A and B are shown apart, each in its own frame.
Chain A
């Protein structure tokens, strides 16, 4: 297993097996477990880690999976996804903003053979269409983020594939009650033919955020 849980005094911490031993992506700790190097995965810095701690199944991203990752930012979470899918897997990372993409390319894509970076607009999937994926992970703070995620799934997600959508309530509507926003986005996915399995609010790790897990 590339993902490891550890219980210590009632606290769960997550670790992923380092794909590039000795290399740090941000200032995470490197720990040796059974002679293998793992990296600590901080839920306050990574919404996916937060969701897993709050009940998202561990095995939605699996070894060997192809993952389309929209909105990599500086690449903290993508680096852990790259750990999990391992050498036989693939992470196609898309980021629109050059400033943060710089760090993503430098610290993640250049160092990890299973990561392919694109500085591109997630509204235009033709510029990074490589292959159908098992998982689409979408974390873009846009008003129409759900529509963008659906567009990408139609084009690049295998039938039966999994969508992990981070909903940032404040990006969609500043005044509406976050819970209503989450429900609304869920409905949009259902209407587009997805089956929504889980909706996880990410507090206390992130305010007004939720992760929606749906299958296509």
Chain B
């Protein structure tokens, strides 16, 4: 009984006997028929689909061993030429190249369609808008302040100021009527009108006012764009990562995802990494100098963290990161909403707040614990673990 091998390449499939090509065809199925006619009963094939088609025509089939495959791969171009699938090495390479380009582009296309990557872009656009908004609204306030400084002093909200600048304009255009309905108290309206009478601001030409108004209009436009983006991020997060949204909130979840480079990467991150995402500078400083490592990165923005008293923040950030890690994994691998994660978080936060209600006692007041050195040891990088390799996982849905 002889055993033949079918080796599939970009240029077509090759039938091998003892490592030498004895036949070739565009498709493996033709070779299977040929082998059958030759009286072959068993074949070695190079992939799963050939395995089933070989068995379908009644041949015994086994998958090629990796070491044999490696040997054939190293001689792939030679085999293609010898089995006349291509006239010479150059054409063989050209066939492989065209196939590779197409395969590469397919991978790129598929990767570019991932919804979480769009979400990453959206949250970054949101942060860009915020930055722009701050600088531009501040600029409007400064510029308009030349003309009516008292108003800019009295209005804390720069976006509100932009609206007033666009809608009212000149100092002497202000009146009770057009100030009402903007959330000013009556007292404030009075104050603004009084300030107008004895303003320290200078005159402003039509040209200059026009520029300031244009800038204010732009800021308002960006502000409304920003709000639309925000809504979009929230609804997309609910779709893509409902559990993370539940635990961390939409914007923070999206920011973590952006920092990690996608939901898949966030899902395979250790919670300790998630806890300090966004605090890389502080982390590396801690690693280099042995200073205190950061307690929180992006997570600081979560109200449970920055709203908590200082001594609880580290504990809260850690808990939050733990739960986000679990949530991200559920979102990525299971894709269903599990209320238990949020419930677990709330429970633990309750405990922390109860147990650590009081600030820790000063070192001097603590009981002496024997055998412990004064002060904490400098922070060192934990040993690297052989763990779950992001690149070898199969996505299960």
Query: In the complex, what residue of chain B is closest to A110 when comparing beta carbons?
Result: B101
Q: Mark A108-152, 1 if CB is under 8 A from B, else 0.
A: 011001011111010100100111100000000001000000000
- Alpha-carbon separation in the docked complex, A176 to B101 (Å): 40
Contact of B396 with A by CB under 8 A: no
Which residues does chain B contribute within 8 Å of A155, judged by CB atoms? 70
Set A113, A121, A156: member contacting B391, Cβ < 8 A: A121
| Minimum CB–CB distance for B268 against chain A, Å | 15
Q: Mark B83-102, 1 if CB is under 8 A from A, else 0.
A: 00000000001101100110
Set A90, A99, A129: member contacting B70, Cβ < 8 A: A129
Set A113, A119, A174: member contacting B104, Cβ < 8 A: A119
Which residues does chain B contribute within 8 Å of A174, judged by CB atoms? 284, 287-288, 381
Contact of B77 with A by CB under 8 A: yes
Which residues does chain A contribute within 8 Å of B70, judged by CB atoms? 126, 129, 155
Contact of A62 with B by CB under 8 A: no
A102 touches B384 (CB 8 A): no
Contact of A101 with B by CB under 8 A: yes
Contact of A98 with B by CB under 8 A: yes
B108 touches A105 (CB 8 A): yes
Known: A117-B100, A175-B288. A102 touches B74 (CB 8 A): no
- Alpha-carbon separation in the docked complex, A180 to B284 (Å): 18
Which residues does chain B contribute within 8 Å of A96, judged by CB atoms? 391
- Alpha-carbon separation in the docked complex, A116 to B96 (Å): 8
- Alpha-carbon separation in the docked complex, A116 to B105 (Å): 12
B77 touches A131 (CB 8 A): yes
- Chain B contributes a number of interface residues (CB within 8 A of A) equal to 28
- Chain A contributes a number of interface residues (CB within 8 A of B) equal to 27
Known: A129-B76, A143-B384, A174-B288. A105 touches B97 (CB 8 A): no
Which residues does chain A contribute within 8 Å of B103, judged by CB atoms? 118-119
Known: A130-B73, A130-B77. A175 touches B287 (CB 8 A): yes
B97 touches A116 (CB 8 A): yes
A131 touches B76 (CB 8 A): yes
Q: Mark A154-198, 1 if CB is under 8 A from B, else 0.
A: 011000000000000000001100000000000000000000000
Contact of B357 with A by CB under 8 A: no
Which residues does chain A contribute within 8 Å of B183, judged by CB atoms? none
B101 touches A117 (CB 8 A): yes
Set A99, A126, A132: member contacting B69, Cβ < 8 A: A126
Which B30-55 residues sit within 8 Å CB-CB of chain A?
none
- Alpha-carbon separation in the docked complex, A158 to B103 (Å): 27
| Minimum CB–CB distance for A128 against chain B, Å | 8
Which residues does chain A contribute within 8 Å of B97, judged by CB atoms? 109, 113, 115-116
B104 touches A109 (CB 8 A): yes
B74 touches A132 (CB 8 A): yes
Query: In the complex, what residue of chain A is closest to B98 when comparing beta carbons?
Result: A116
- Alpha-carbon separation in the docked complex, A116 to B97 (Å): 5
| Minimum CB–CB distance for A12 against chain B, Å | 34
- Alpha-carbon separation in the docked complex, A119 to B104 (Å): 5
Which residues does chain A contribute within 8 Å of B288, judged by CB atoms? 174-175
- Alpha-carbon separation in the docked complex, A105 to B97 (Å): 11
Contact of B156 with A by CB under 8 A: no
Contact of B354 with A by CB under 8 A: no
A113 touches B74 (CB 8 A): no
Contact of B375 with A by CB under 8 A: no
- Alpha-carbon separation in the docked complex, A96 to B66 (Å): 23
Known: A109-B101, A143-B384, A174-B287. A129 touches B108 (CB 8 A): no
Contact of B1 with A by CB under 8 A: no
- Alpha-carbon separation in the docked complex, A115 to B101 (Å): 10
Which residues does chain B contribute within 8 Å of A99, judged by CB atoms? 111
| Minimum CB–CB distance for A126 against chain B, Å | 7
Contact of B347 with A by CB under 8 A: no
Which residues does chain B contribute within 8 Å of A102, judged by CB atoms? 108, 112
B66 touches A126 (CB 8 A): yes
Q: Mark B223-254, 1 if CB is under 8 A from A, else 0.
A: 00000000000000000000000000000000
Known: A130-B73, A130-B77, A175-B381. A119 touches B101 (CB 8 A): no
Contact of B107 with A by CB under 8 A: yes
| Minimum CB–CB distance for A152 against chain B, Å | 12
- Alpha-carbon separation in the docked complex, A174 to B69 (Å): 39
Other A-B pairs, 13, CB within 8 Å; known A116-B100, A174-B381: A98-B111, A101-B104, A105-B108, A109-B104, A117-B101, A118-B100, A119-B107, A126-B66, A129-B70, A130-B96, A131-B74, A175-B287, A175-B381
Provide a sorted-by-A list of 14 A–B residue pairs whose CB atoms are within 8 angstroms: A99-B111, A102-B112, A105-B105, A113-B97, A115-B97, A117-B100, A117-B101, A119-B104, A121-B391, A123-B392, A132-B74, A174-B381, A175-B284, A175-B288
Which 5 interchain pairs have the tightest Cβ spacing? A98-B111, A129-B73, A119-B107, A119-B104, A98-B108
Residues of chain A touching chain B, judged by Cβ–Cβ distance below 8 Å, are: 90, 96, 98-99, 101-102, 105, 109-110, 113, 115-119, 121, 123, 126, 129-132, 143, 155-156, 174-175
